[in-house]
Amino acid sequence: MTELSSAVFNEKDGFKPAFTSTEDSPTKIGDQDVEVLQQSEGTTTAKKAFLLLIKAFVGTGVLFLPKAFSNGGLIFSMIVLSVVASVTAVAMLLLVKVRLQVPGDFEDIAYKIYGKPLKIIVMSSITISQMGFCCAYFIFVAQNLYDLTHSLSNCTVDIPVIYFILLQLVVYMPFSLIRKIKAFSYTALLADVFILIGIVYILYRDIEKLATIGTGTIQLFNSKDYPLFIGTALFSYEGIGLVLPVVNSMKEPKRFPAVLASVIVVVTVVFVSVGAISYAAFGDVTETIVLLNMPVGHSMTIAVQFFYVFAILLTLPLMLFPAIDILESGLFGRKSGRGSKMVKWQKNLFRVLLCLSLSMIAWGGASNLDNFVALIGGFGCIPLLFIYPAMFHYKVVATKRLYRIGNLVFIGFGFIVMVFVTYISIKSWSTAAVVNHCTAH
């Protein structure tokens, strides 16, 4: 999963509000790769593009997949994940074909084809998805810290999750006030290393359990909760925000389809491996965050949990930047804090209040992280993945009737899935408590 950036980045000003972007605006892309692509516009090799897209897809969201497989069932989840991967690849290629006809980035293309209303809708989707990612990772960090506290204290300390959510504000609030985030990009490599270590450790423990104890209690199809899997799968594949910037930066853009096909295959193998093997190992007791299924109190488990917590603490502010810029542009317009201290402090207050608001939303979803992730995938990611690319392609590229019908089917399919997954995610919301290993074992 990538964090889609709708803001413009440059060396002097950092991120500039997307509402003021023009055709001549600098390249707009996801968080950690902003500087990389800015400096290598038109020179990125196919190999580099492959690595950038891998980084866009494989993130901490992979840890939600084992529970998602539990929600969907083993066979159903493997099939649907493959279908989502294929449909995602098609949607990305549709967007690339539109880009060849209409220069610009996601919201710029929307504006040029359909006008300002759709541009605002697209940017609203970006904002919702970005803030949803932030809330999900608020919960992720809080639940890991909650579990770590129990492990390190031998269950003598039991601090409510809300305090761990609020504790993160000590990091996020100051970071949200920073306008220049160039230095944050260097945390990306460290985060990737942590994620890789975590995936390897999880697979090691999964295989160890399967070899010594056997499989857990599994279902091939879970007729009750399968819509939650669909939402989480879409959450995991939301990498479309990096497609146009990568294409724009490539030395040989014509090689992008082959690069994308390779990326989708590799990512799907990783996702299916982690999801299926972990679910097979733990069955119906698979946690929403699979790290919580690892041996409690084991030094490596604790280390990996700390790695993930540290990585998210440093990267979540990057996820929040696009949403901040879009919302600030809507609230303050062209008013700048450079010429007015009042405007500057109004913007600072807005950023602090936004962080606080996200923490409250995260608190509300803390006991239902799998539902929360599915809701973000359904309501926030589907329009960006399926609906908008097909709408663009219908208007610009699809001259043949068959293509136009295909676009309409794509749009209709995306809308139906969005409504269905969103409805089920909300309907199946429960008031279950956050897992407590001290009372569970």
User: pLDDT category, 435, cuts 50, 70, 90?
Assistant: low
Q: Give 286's DSSP letter.
A: -
Type of residue numbered 312: I
Mean pLDDT of the region 198-218: 92
Which of 276, 268, 272 is CA-nearest to residue 220?
A: 276
Q: What percentage of the chain has pLDDT greater than the value 90?
A: 25
Q: Which of 272-276, 424-428, 436-440 has the lowest mean pLDDT?
A: 436-440
* pLDDT number for residue 182: 54
What would the pLDDT profile of 301-328 be if each residue is shown by its tens digit?
Answer: 888 888 888 878 877 777 787 788 888 8
Query: For the residues of 129-140, what is the DSSP string, one character each?
Result: HHHHHHHHHHHH
Which of 346, 327, 229 is CA-nearest to residue 279?
A: 229
Q: Which residue has the tokens 């609906």?
A: 387
Angstrom distance (rounded) from CA 360 to CA 99: 38
Token pair of 414 as six digits: 């995306």
Question: Which helix (H) or strand (E) covers residue 16, if one does?
Answer: strand 14-16
Mean pLDDT of the region 193-209: 89
Strand, helix or coil for residue 214: coil
Angstrom distance (rounded) from CA 299 to CA 308: 14
* pLDDT number for residue 36: 40
Which of 61, 2, 34 is CA-nearest to residue 248?
A: 34
* pLDDT number for residue 185: 54
Which stretch, 33-47, 113-127, 243-257, has highest mean pLDDT?
Answer: 113-127
HSE (side-chain half, CA atoms, 13 Å) at 337: 18
Mean pLDDT of the region 345-373: 87
Angstrom distance (rounded) from CA 54 to CA 313: 21
Type of residue numbered 212: T
What would the pLDDT profile of 14-64 be if each residue is shown by its tens digit?
Answer: 333 333 333 333 333 333 343 444 444 467 788 888 877 877 677 767 888
Question: Which helix (H) or strand (E) covers residue 123, if one does?
Answer: helix 116-153
Token pair of 145 as six digits: 């810290």
What would the pLDDT profile of 138-180 be if each residue is shown by its tens digit?
Answer: 988 898 888 888 888 887 888 888 999 999 999 889 888 876 6
Bridge partners of 15?
A: 9
